Amino acid sequence: MINFEEMGFTPGILKAIQELGFEQPLPVQSKVIPHMLGGESDIIALAQTGTGKTAAFGLPLVQATDTAINSTQALILCPTRELCIQITGDLTDYSKYTGSLRILSVYGGASIDNQIKGLKRGAHIIVATPGRLIDLIGRGAARLNNVKTVILDEADEMLNMGFLDSINEILEEVPRGRRTLLFSATMSSEIASIARKYMNEPVEITIGTKNSSAENVSHAYYIVHARDKYKVLKRIADFEPDIYAIVFCRTRKETQEVASKLINDGYNADALHGDLSQAQRDAVMQKFRLRNLHMLVATDVAARGLDVDDLTHVINFSLPDDAEIYTHRCGRTGRAGKTGISISLVHMREKQNLQRIERLVKKSFKSMPIPTGSEICGKQLFNWINKLETVSTDHQEIEKFLPEIKVKLAGMDREEFIRRVVSLEFDRFLDDYRNGEDISDIIPENDTSYERPGKRGSREKYSGNYTRLFINLGKSDGFYPEQLIQLVNTNTKGRKVPIGKIDLLKSFSFFEVETGYADDLIKALNNSNFMNQKVAVEIAQPKNGKPDNHSGYQGKKPSKWTGRKREKKSYPSTAW
């Protein structure tokens, strides 16, 4: 692979490339730049967004533009105002050391008068959305008679947005002898027809497989009941503490609903859809770019042109009808050589749609089990502990308080201290998941494709022998899974006692314990107190009166145990 120096760039452009931190050309650049610098041919490049295509056409374009000539020499058409602004910014960066190149962006939703003034001052390169450019041509403000190069960027998106007629009209305005480059994530019959009509024996360059998704994006899905979609979204977000994602919804209403729920539940999230004013959309996008938002809930149309690097996930809250739209969505992660994950929440009826998308994307999608409350708490806990390990403690202000703090905590041993700090920090998760129903039950039984290493503790536990115990403490005593686990841990002196399902009631509760530990645990707990109350534990009696004989309670038996009407909620857990 040749490097940027060997490609024939001028020292000024090489300096700009170096400042941008581009060390090696990305694949689309290695393929497109030599054609652009070394030949005259038209080019069709099939490449996803985020693959580095702006530099692939932008660097050679900046080099080829003669700033001594005071006319528009290149025209870049792209689907959205945001992309216009971004391309203009990128070209400005590339031309930092190459003299007074004037680049102007013109797009809808902004003052046309200012754009007319800009055009009067003269622009060497115009970056435009098709609709606004037609308007400016109609007013005699944009003159394209000296244009030598036309770039159609995200051509498939422009066609999806209904710009075909405008593109046709604009291409009729530009001199026949120009060079045309077309960039698109997918190849469709409309793209092929534009190529036939307006391009001259184009060289076709494909990055990856035609119409396929980016190489470094993996695809996963969760089978969920429609009513559980939001709960599963929350679990995914909680299971990925460093999530930075776009959540795609189908309609504006759904987008707003999901975003509002996330905000109410305390997530850094916001909505992006067409009912917002341009100023509101700009503000949301800016917050997302700055990572003040961790999840952006958006419609496909609103998210067009939003190019953000380093997204960890794309989440398809609703699958798109059109498989091509899926390709666009997932192309937003795994950019610039990084890896990314595209997650889809699908209910059984949508499986066929998913398979159609799978065929188009040419990758197999992995079915994932929904993280359990216990797994989420564990993940959050260890993420927090990692942060605790690396946090800087170099704060002078803290020093003066330390002696008094030490005195205050003098009576607390290390283990108790850790337990309290963790409980304090994990209140929200423990609250959310302590009594959460186990929505992971809806994973299809025949699913064998999931391979998270060493995980799914609670499911495995259910395959062992468990004994169900009765305890005389309930929610009215302030007794929740956290307290049960603490009680077990304190009274079993460091032994890791596997706890299964917990059913909490108002004044008493049931919980499962691995059968081998049951007798010892009953003994230990019967000698203990909880909040000045004597603890009483015994093997739970089924309704028919026969005691459970430790013979292999499998964890998911129907609720036939004695006691008041059983509450539905349960919490699979282990004593950590």
Give the per-residue contact string, 318-347, with ligand AMP (x = CB under 6 A; - = no): -----------------xx-----------
What is the DSSP track for 20-31?
HT--S--HHHHH
CA nearest to 248, candidates 139, 328, 180: 328
- Residue (75 or 484) nearer to ligand AMP, CB: 75
Shortest Å, Cβ 531 to ligand AMP: 57
Binding of residue 52 to ligand AMP (CB under 6 A): yes
Residue of 12, 14, 22, 514 that binds ligand AMP (CB under 6 A): 22
Residues 229 and 256: beta-carbon distance below 8 Å: no
Please report the beta strands in 384-508, taking only residues with DSSP state E, as ranges in sequence order. 466-471, 499-504
Task: Single out the segment in contact with ligand AMP by CB under 6 A; choices: 24-32, 131-139, 189-197, 246-254.
Answer: 24-32
CA nearest to 322, candidates 301, 336, 306: 301
Rounded CA-CA distance 262/269 in Å is: 6
Shortest Å, Cβ 76 to ligand AMP: 12
CA nearest to 415, candidates 531, 576, 536: 576
Task: Single out the segment in contact with ligand AMP by CB under 6 A; choices: 50-58, 236-244, 274-282, 538-546.
Answer: 50-58
- Residue (87 or 136) nearer to ligand AMP, CB: 87
Rounded CA-CA distance 435/481 in Å is: 8
φ, ψ at 194 (rounded to 5°): -60, -45
H helix intervals, 143-277: 155-160, 164-173, 189-198, 229-239, 252-264
Residues 329 and 320: beta-carbon distance below 8 Å: yes
Shortest Å, Cβ 59 to ligand AMP: 9
Task: Single out the segment in contact with ligand AMP by CB under 6 A; choices: 20-28, 142-150, 168-176, 203-211.
Answer: 20-28
Binding of residue 53 to ligand AMP (CB under 6 A): yes
**Distance between first and last Cα of the chain:** 52
Task: Single out the segment in contact with ligand AMP by CB under 6 A; choices: 18-26, 345-353, 459-467, 474-482.
Answer: 18-26
Rounded CA-CA distance 168/276 in Å is: 30
Strand 103-106 vs strand 125-128: parallel, antiparallel, or unpaired?
parallel
Shortest Å, Cβ 384 to ligand AMP: 31
- Residue (29 or 180) nearer to ligand AMP, CB: 29
- Residue (52 or 202) nearer to ligand AMP, CB: 52
How many residues bind ligand AMP (CB under 6 A)? The answer is 15
Rounded CA-CA distance 361/302 in Å is: 23
Task: Single out the segment in contact with ligand AMP by CB under 6 A; choices: 48-56, 62-70, 190-198, 212-220.
Answer: 48-56
Side chain identity, residue 534: K
- Residue (14 or 381) nearer to ligand AMP, CB: 14
Residues 314 and 343: beta-carbon distance below 8 Å: yes
- Residue (49 or 342) nearer to ligand AMP, CB: 49
Residue with tokens 């919980």: 511
Task: Single out the segment in contact with ligand AMP by CB under 6 A; choices: 43-51, 345-353, 444-452, 547-555.
Answer: 43-51
Task: Single out the segment in contact with ligand AMP by CB under 6 A; choices: 19-27, 182-190, 267-275, 389-397.
Answer: 19-27
- Residue (28 or 484) nearer to ligand AMP, CB: 28
- Three-state secondary structure call for residue 399: helix
- Shortest-Cβ-distance residue relative to ligand AMP: 54
- Residue (19 or 165) nearer to ligand AMP, CB: 19
Binding of residue 208 to ligand AMP (CB under 6 A): no
Task: Single out the segment in contact with ligand AMP by CB under 6 A; choices: 51-59, 481-489, 508-516, 520-528.
Answer: 51-59
Rounded CA-CA distance 313/35 in Å is: 34
Binding of residue 25 to ligand AMP (CB under 6 A): yes
Shortest Å, Cβ 266 to ligand AMP: 31
Residue 93, burial from CB neighbour count under 10 angstroms (0-12, 13-18, 19+): middle
- Give the containing element (helix H, strand E) for 103: strand 103-106
CA nearest to 152, candidates 44, 48, 37: 44
Shortest Å, Cβ 294 to ligand AMP: 19
Rounded CA-CA distance 515/466 in Å is: 5
Shortest Å, Cβ 314 to ligand AMP: 15
- Residue (42 or 153) nearer to ligand AMP, CB: 153
Binding of residue 79 to ligand AMP (CB under 6 A): no
Rounded CA-CA distance 207/399 in Å is: 57
- Residue (50 or 130) nearer to ligand AMP, CB: 50
Residue of 66, 275, 309, 321 that binds ligand AMP (CB under 6 A): 309
Binding of residue 50 to ligand AMP (CB under 6 A): yes
Shortest Å, Cβ 337 to ligand AMP: 7
Per the DSSP assignment, residues forming a β-bridge with 78 are none
- Residue (21 or 454) nearer to ligand AMP, CB: 21
Rounded CA-CA distance 518/367 in Å is: 36
Distance between alpha carbon 352 and the CA centroid of its chain, in Å?
24
- List residues near ligand AMP by CB under 6 A: 22, 25-26, 29, 49-55, 307, 309, 335-336
